[in-house]
């Protein structure tokens, strides 16, 4: 058997999509024009497929902070903080994150993926239990592979299912860590956090909330779902990313646990990789300041979310259960999804594609990532193009038919 034979099934789908000119994984942005526009295939295109929720990847203050940091401290750190030392800006960012959440400690990582991978796999080990929502992000699933803890899945957003799993483990001496997400990345739905935290506390378990898509989006200060639900003091660990609302790249974990700092010399994803470069740290600090000081961006984001969600819902599309900056449009099959994605790109709108196995319940979907940077015209334009494709292709009629059946 050849080295690549295990990927034969995937190869067939990859080749078919490529030959049909439908390659969502191969989009090239020739030029970025703003937080909401790019030149793709030589054409001016509205980008509704990046998670630049507050538009901060193009914020003037963030850009200037990054430029100044490069001039001051160079382009890269060229090593890990454990081996080569921290830059004082790493520590400043960590202090600002901790105080933003009202927690004692913060640790930053080179990506959000590594934050989940590192924190989860270091917190639990042999004899422990990791309880994860079935729709968890790949970084959480991959953390399961890196730890000797037993992984136990519970039904998506189902506190009763979590309760049943924890009841079954009641006699087990190991620690139990429950992991959920604030907003789920494929369907944009939110965790029923109050019910989940109640179950976690009743069973003496710990809870980690991944707020990758909810930081900057939910809560009065923009901390995420735990803040919105008044549960920040009940949550043991919050993980997040700099690659969405903060417009950069990187990840973090905050916690008030006294011994949290030991993770700096135990967590492999933190220890054995180069630390965040100066430009990224500086732009992230500036972006965090914007999140704190300009709540009106959050209000604008939600205005855009409701505008798109209501337009598509009214037209009969099948959407994720609650409005959120991820507006997921579930379609009948992979072929319709890819055809609609291609048609939208040809008409000047870039959205994401979600296909199995990356999606829950084998859904084929288009994922629109709404931003505060979008104008009403851009949002309306996308909705109109989706509806016109849905009608012309028969996809909307089929959805109406299956809703009645």
Choose the stretch contacting ligand PMP; rule: CB under 6 A; options: 35-43, 78-86, 209-217, 380-388: 209-217
Name the minimum Å distance from CB 365 to ligand PMP. Answer: 15
Neighbours of 332 (CB within 10 A): 15
Name the minimum Å distance from CB 42 to ligand PMP. Answer: 28
Q: Which residue from 22, 45, 47, 185 is in contact with ligand PMP, where contact means CB under 6 A?
A: 185
Name the minimum Å distance from CB 251 to ligand PMP. Answer: 5
Distance, in Å, from the CA atom of 180 to the CA atom of 297, rounded to the nearest integer, reads 26
String marking each residue 345-364 x if it binds ligand PMP according to CB under 6 A: --------------------
Name the minimum Å distance from CB 111 to ligand PMP. Answer: 4
CB-nearer residue toward ligand PMP: 179 or 338: 179
Residue among 200, 197, 192, 144 nearest 167 (CA):
200
CB-nearer residue toward ligand PMP: 124 or 191: 191
121 binds ligand PMP per the rule CB under 6 A: no
CB-nearer residue toward ligand PMP: 112 or 277: 112
CB-nearer residue toward ligand PMP: 240 or 390: 240
Judging by DSSP bridges, how do beta strands 237-241 and 326-331 pair with one another? unpaired
Query: 249: burial class by Cβ within 10 Å (0-12, 13-18, 19+)?
Result: middle
Q: Which residue from 53, 113, 206, 270 is in contact with ligand PMP, where contact means CB under 6 A?
A: 113
- CA 170 to each of CA 155, 162, 163, 202, 336: distance values in angstroms, whole numbers, following the listed order: 19, 12, 10, 11, 46
For the four alpha carbons of 68, 59, 26 and 301, in that order, the dihedral sign comes to: positive
Q: Which residue from 52, 111, 280, 337 is in contact with ligand PMP, where contact means CB under 6 A?
A: 111
Name the minimum Å distance from CB 397 to ligand PMP. Answer: 33
3-state secondary structure of 125: coil
Q: Which residue from 94, 128, 135, 181 is in contact with ligand PMP, where contact means CB under 6 A?
A: 181
Q: Which residue from 214, 243, 283, 371 is in contact with ligand PMP, where contact means CB under 6 A?
A: 243
For the four alpha carbons of 16, 20, 25 and 26, in that order, the dihedral sign comes to: positive
φ/ψ of 306, rounded to 5, equals -65, -35
- CA 368 to each of CA 29, 185, 186, 316, 324: distance values in angstroms, whole numbers, following the listed order: 17, 11, 10, 16, 10
Distance, in Å, from the CA atom of 218 to the CA atom of 196, rounded to the nearest integer, reads 18
135 binds ligand PMP per the rule CB under 6 A: no
String marking each residue 246-285 x if it binds ligand PMP according to CB under 6 A: -----x----------------------------------
Say if residues 89 and 282 touch (Cβ distance below 8 Å): yes
């Amino acid at each position: 058997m050849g080295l690549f034979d295990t990927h034969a099934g995937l190869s067939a789908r990859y080749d078919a999509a490529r030959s049909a000119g439908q390659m969502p994984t191969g989009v090239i942005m020739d030029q970025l024009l703003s937080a909401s526009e790019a030149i793709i295939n030589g054409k001016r295109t509205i980008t509704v497929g990046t998670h630049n929720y507050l538009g901060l990847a193009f914020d003037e203050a963030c850009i200037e902070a990054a430029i100044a940091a490069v001039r001051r401290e160079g382009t890269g750190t060229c090593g890990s903080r454990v081996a080569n030392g921290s830059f004082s800006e790493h520590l400043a960012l960590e202090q600002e994150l901790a105080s933003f959440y009202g927690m004692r400690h913060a640790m930053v990582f080179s990506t959000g993926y590594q934050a989940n991978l590192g924190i989860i796999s270091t917190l639990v080990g042999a004899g422990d239990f990791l309880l994860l929502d079935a729709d968890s992000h790949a970084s959480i699933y991959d953390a399961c592979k890196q730890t000797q803890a037993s992984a136990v899945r519970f039904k998506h957003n189902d506190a009763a299912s979590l309760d049943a799993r924890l009841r079954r483990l009641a006699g087990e001496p190991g620690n139990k860590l429950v992991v959920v997400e604030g907003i789920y990345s494929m369907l944009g739905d939110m965790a029923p956090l109050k019910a989940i935290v109640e179950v976690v506390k009743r069973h003496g378990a710990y809870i980690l909330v991944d707020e990758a898509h909810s930081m900057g989006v939910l809560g009065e200060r923009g901390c995420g779902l735990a803040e919105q639900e008044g549960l920040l003091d009940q949550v043991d660990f919050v993980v997040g990313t700099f690659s969405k609302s903060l417009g950069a790249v990187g990840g973090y974990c905050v916690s008030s646990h006294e011994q949290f700092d030991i993770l700096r010399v135990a967590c492999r994803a933190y220890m054995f990789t180069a630390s965040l470069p100066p430009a990224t740290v500086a732009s992230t600090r500036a972006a965090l300041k914007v999140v704190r000081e300009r709540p009106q961006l959050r209000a604008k984001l939600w205005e855009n979310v409701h505008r798109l969600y209501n337009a598509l819902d009214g037209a009969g599309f099948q959407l994720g259960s609650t409005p959120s900056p991820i507006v997921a449009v579930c379609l009948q099959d992979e072929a319709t999804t890819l055809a609609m994605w291609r048609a939208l790109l040809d008409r000047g709108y870039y959205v994401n594609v979600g296909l199995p196995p990356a999606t829950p319940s084998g859904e084929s979907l288009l994922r629109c990532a709404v931003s505060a940077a979008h104008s009403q015209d851009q949002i309306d334009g996308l909705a109109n193009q989706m509806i016109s494709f849905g009608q012309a292709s028969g996809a909307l009629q089929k959805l109406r038919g299956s809703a009645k059946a």
